[in-house]
A and B are shown apart, each in its own frame.
Chain A
Amino acid sequence: MLPFDLADDEVFRKSTVGTGRWITIIAVLSASAVLSAIVCLQFGARFVGVHDMLRLLFLAPGESGDAAGDLDTVTTILLYVRLPRVVLGFLVGGCLATVGVAVQALLRNPLADPYVLGVSSGAALGVSVAVLFGVGSTILPVVVLPLCGFAGSLVALLVIYQIAASDGRLPIYSVLLAGVILNAVLSALIMFITSIMDPNRSFGMMIWLMGSLTAPAIPTLLVFSLYVLVCLGFLLKQARVLNIVAFGDEQARSLGIDTERTKRHIFLVSALMTGAVVSVSGMVGFIGMVVPHVVRLIVGADHRLVMPAAALVGGTFLMVADTFARTVLLPSELPVGIMTALVGGPFFVSLLIRRKDRML
């Protein structure tokens, strides 16, 4: 029933989540995700109520009293523009939050996330190079752009390893320092690329870099979902290891866990996910860093609960933020990265103020 046995760890007697509590929290979060999705689907260039949605689903075009063309347009908007975008928003948000949880646990540093480490910038650089040389627009962009993103994030990771690793181990401070430096260099390279593109293109590139979702084609969305869900599954399975690693390397070694190897695997999968996410949505900041905190403040520190909860909360949050981003300025759109920062920042601060006693 559950992907792991909740009572199998000696170490975590104190923080063990009861199975009942796990199911309750995940069920509540899932339900709110579904409800939010239904609400998000209603808003857009034209408001479509739930009743109309159901009617559209069960009616072939031309069966209703509407003019067939008009119905056609609404169906297209709903099924091919809005729905894919809402789903994509959920997946991207979920990935960012989960990767954030994993990286923060690995480095035992609440400030860590793919953006801070420069992994996202690496992916963005990979994608912008592909765009600059027109690779993305000629050969299967669905496959090529995420691959370029992954290549970029992988190179970023390798560089961090080269800088920070000593005796095959990754000291936390060196990793963070390496990430900060790498970020600065990569940002400069991205800026260089945008400055040599033609002006119209670079404007689009800037908006994409701020983090913006577009409605993906259905095949694209399917490929992306499959890829991302496999990675998510892997990360969720690592929850128990993350619990042990979060306690410290010494502790983990005494329990006989090869932490370095596990760290490498988790980092690799995080890079894979980051590359894919950046290739479809640019650099949506804030979620990877803040959602894990918010979730830990609410449900405690056990990763077996934090990981899936963060995936659901991050997904729901980005889905809602993107709905604001695409409707606030109709007929224009805002980059969702702006919305996540504007909506999430104050929320996070208020949460901290109310929970000062349990801070981080």
Chain B
Amino acid sequence: MRSNRTPSFRGYVLGCLSILIVVSVSDDGLSEAYGSSVVKRRQQGILTGMPFMANIMPRTFVDDAGRKLYIAKPPTRVVSLAPSITEMLFALGLDEQIVGVTELCNYPSAALSKPKIGYARPNIETLVALRPDMIVAPQEFLRADILAKLEELRIPVFLVEAKTIGDILMQIQSLGKIFNKVKMSDAITGTMRDRMARVTKRVATSKEKRVLYVLNSHPLITVGPGSYIHHMIGLAGGINVARSSESPYPSLSLETVLQEDPEVLIFPVGSVESIPKSEQDEWNRWKSLSAVRNRQLLEVSSDALNRPGPRVVEGLDLLARAIHPEAYLSDEAHPSP
């Protein structure tokens, strides 16, 4: 846990001084080994836990883990450690700057030809061999030891974690600032916001339905508060039956499911993560469920939904269509973009 110290005036002055000192310190040989890119991780000191400083110092960024990164110039060699991040970087038009992606990154097609790194447990030597001047990684998968090593090598690591769709928009904005692609990121997030607004407006008049989102059946694992998919179910006019659980990916009690009686069961299906038909059919055992009685066992594309990237709004659209088909009946002729 980060300490959240209240900034005092003295701390503030000291902080400004320390930034001046750190910024004026010249590079050592290490970053010269990385060519001319002037990229430094500021030493964390008095300023730890004072994100407001990021607004005062340009080119200083705060990631989702609350770590502060000082990035002098837009990075020219960036490595992505998750499919969602790869999609964000490509959406920002950074095709040339991306020098490495994970083996699960299959969208857009240009990602397939990039050098590959392991997804959950990246090999640090492969990573360093790509000579990145920035790494963007999901917070939940990057181990502390790898992070420490990368900090020692002065490779800035920007950690992202999405608890809501808003977080995803923020991440795209931050990356836009880091890479000097603010126009681009504004355009992307604007489009995403419009589309979200269209979806929420559509389902506004429909009565909310109780939803169970199945990530795994034996044991039952679903999404709970603190996961962006839980947030999306709410936006799409659904009530998550796991809403009172404590963790973002709870192992939910089957008795709770039967008692909450979901009206819709959602199974993510796609290229990387998929719930097979046979497993879906097993749910038909529970005849007391409204979802089973009304045949509301539905598939939604996991490629769009399970990736907290720019395509997440498509996922939201699909989710809303699954939960509230009646809200989409009027325009079956011309589906939304």
A residues with CB within 8 A of B? 44-46, 69, 72-73, 75-77, 80-82, 134, 137-138, 195, 198-201, 203-204, 207-208, 212, 214-215, 217, 326, 329-335
In the complex, are the beta carbons of A200 and B120 less than 8 A apart? no
Tell me whether B255 and A81 are in contact (CB under 8 A).
yes
B272 lies within 8 A of chain A by Cβ = yes
B245 close to A200 (CB less than 8 A): no
Q: A200-B216, A214-B219, A332-B246 are in contact. Are A46 and B253 (CB under 8 A)?
A: no
Give chain B nearest CB distance to A339 CB in angstroms.
13
Q: Find out whether the CB atom of B255 lies under 8 angstroms from the CB atom of A44.
A: yes
Tell me the interface secondary structure of chain A in the complex: helix
With an 8 A cutoff between CB atoms, is B258 at the interface?
yes
Q: B219 to A333, Cβ gap below 8 A?
A: yes
The contact string, 1 if C-beta is below 8 Å from chain A, for chain B 111-138, is 0000000011100000000000000000
- Give Cα distance in the complex from A212 to B274, angstroms: 22
Contact (Cβ within 8 A) B288 A330: no
Q: B326: CB under 8 A from chain A?
A: no
How many A-B residue pairs have C-beta atoms within 8 angstroms? Tell me. Answer: 101
- Known contacts: A137-B276, A137-B279. The answer to whether A200 contacts B259 by CB under 8 A is no
Chain B residue numbers with a CB within 8 Å of A335 are: 219, 251
| Interface residue B55 (Cβ < 8 Å from any Cβ of A) | no
How near does chain B come to A163, taking the closest CB pair, in angstroms? 31
Report B24-64 residues with CB < 8 Å from chain A CB. none
Q: Give Cα A76 to B256, complex, Å.
A: 12
Do the beta carbons of A77 and B253 come within 8 Å of each other? no
B2 to chain A, nearest CB (A): 26
20 pairs, A vs B, C-beta closer than 8 Å = A44-B255, A77-B255, A81-B258, A137-B279, A138-B276, A138-B278, A198-B272, A200-B221, A204-B216, A204-B218, A207-B219, A214-B219, A215-B254, A217-B282, A331-B256, A332-B246, A332-B251, A332-B252, A332-B253, A335-B219
In the complex, the answer to whether A46 meets B246 with C-beta atoms within 8 Å is no
Q: What's the dominant secondary structure at chain B's contact region? A: loop
Chain B residue at minimum C-beta to C-beta distance from A76:
B288
Query: CB distance B255 to A195 under 8 Å?
Result: no
Q: List B239-264 residues whose CB lies under 8 Å from chain A.
A: 242, 244-247, 249-256, 258-259, 261
Contact, CB under 8 Å: B261 / A73: yes
Q: A137-B276, A137-B278, A214-B218 are in contact. Are A203 and B249 (CB under 8 A)?
A: yes
Q: Contacts of A82 on B, CB cut-off 8 Å?
A: 255
Query: Contacts A76-B288, A214-B254: A45 and B245 contacting too (C-beta < 8 A)?
Result: no
Verify B252–A331 contact, CB threshold 8 A: yes
Chain B residues in the interface with A (C-beta under 8 A): 119-121, 215-216, 218-221, 224, 242, 244-247, 249-256, 258-259, 261, 268, 272-274, 276, 278-279, 282, 285-288, 306
- A73 contacts across to B, CB distance below 8 A: 258-259, 261, 288
Chain A residues near B251 (CB-CB < 8 A)? 207, 212, 332-335
CB <8 Å contact, A46 and B259: yes
Residue pair B253, A195 in contact (C-beta under 8 Å): no
The answer for the CA separation of A311 and B24 in the assembled complex, in Å, is 74
Given known A208-B219, A217-B285, A332-B250, contact A200–B273 (CB-CB < 8 A)? yes
A289 vs B92: C-alpha distance when bound (angstroms): 58
Question: How far is the CB of A278 from the nearest CB of chain B, in Å?
Answer: 14
Which residue in chain B gives the minimum CB-CB distance to A215?
A: B254
How many Å from the CB of B281 to the closest CB on chain A?
10
A223 CB to nearest B CB, Å: 16
Task: Please name all residues of chain A whose beta carbon is closer than 8 Å to the beta carbon of B282 when the two chains form the complex.
Answer: 217
Q: Which chain B residues border A72 with CB–CB below 8 Å?
A: 288
Residues on A with C-beta less than 8 A from B218 are 204, 208, 214
Q: How far is the CB of A320 from chain B (nearest CB, A)?
A: 17
Are B253's CB and A331's CB within 8 A? yes
Partner of B215, one of A75, A200, A329: A200
Cross-interface CB contact of A134 among B245, B255, B276, B306, cutoff 8 Å: B276
Nearest CB on A from B221, distance (A): 5
Distance between A84 CB and nearest chain B CB, rounded to angstroms: 10
Tell me which residues across on chain A come within 8 A of B274, comparing CB atoms: 198
Contact assessment for A199 and B120 in the assembled complex, using a CB-CB cutoff below 8 Å: yes
Residue of B nearest to A330 (CB): B253
Least distance between B104 CB and chain A CB atoms (Å): 8
Which residue of chain A is the closest to B278 with respect to CB atoms? A137
Question: Least Cβ distance of B57 to chain A in Å?
Answer: 36
B258 touches which one: A76, A199, A217, A332 (CB < 8 A)?
A76
Are the CB atoms of B286 and A76 closer together than 8 Å? yes
With a CB–CB cut-off of 8 A, which chain B residues contact A77?
255, 258-259
Q: In the complex the two chains form, what is the Cα distance from A333 to B244 in whole Å?
A: 13
In the complex, chain B residues whose CB is within 8 Å of the CB of A201: 216, 273
Kindly list 5 other residue pairs between chains A and B, CB separation below 8 angstroms, not including A46-B259, A200-B216, A333-B219.
Answer: A195-B121, A199-B119, A215-B254, A333-B252, A335-B251
The one of B120, B121, B253, B285 that contacts A333, using a Cβ cutoff of 8 Å? B253
* Distance in angstroms between the alpha carbons of A212 and B254 in the assembled complex: 13
B11 to chain A, nearest CB (A): 41
Chain A residues with CB under 8 Å of B215's CB are 200, 203-204
Chain A residue nearest in CB terms to B217: A204
- Nearest CB on A from B141, distance (A): 9
A3 to B215, CA, bound (A): 48
| A208 proximity list for chain B (CB < 8 A) | 218-219
Task: State how many angstroms separate the Cβ of A50 from the closest Cβ of chain B.
Answer: 18
Min C-beta distance of A29 to chain B, whole Å? 28
| Bound: A320/B171 CA distance, A | 47
For residue A287, give the distance in angstroms from its CB to the closest CB of chain B: 19
The 7 closest A-B pairs by CB, nearest first: A45-B255, A204-B216, A331-B256, A332-B250, A76-B288, A45-B256, A200-B215
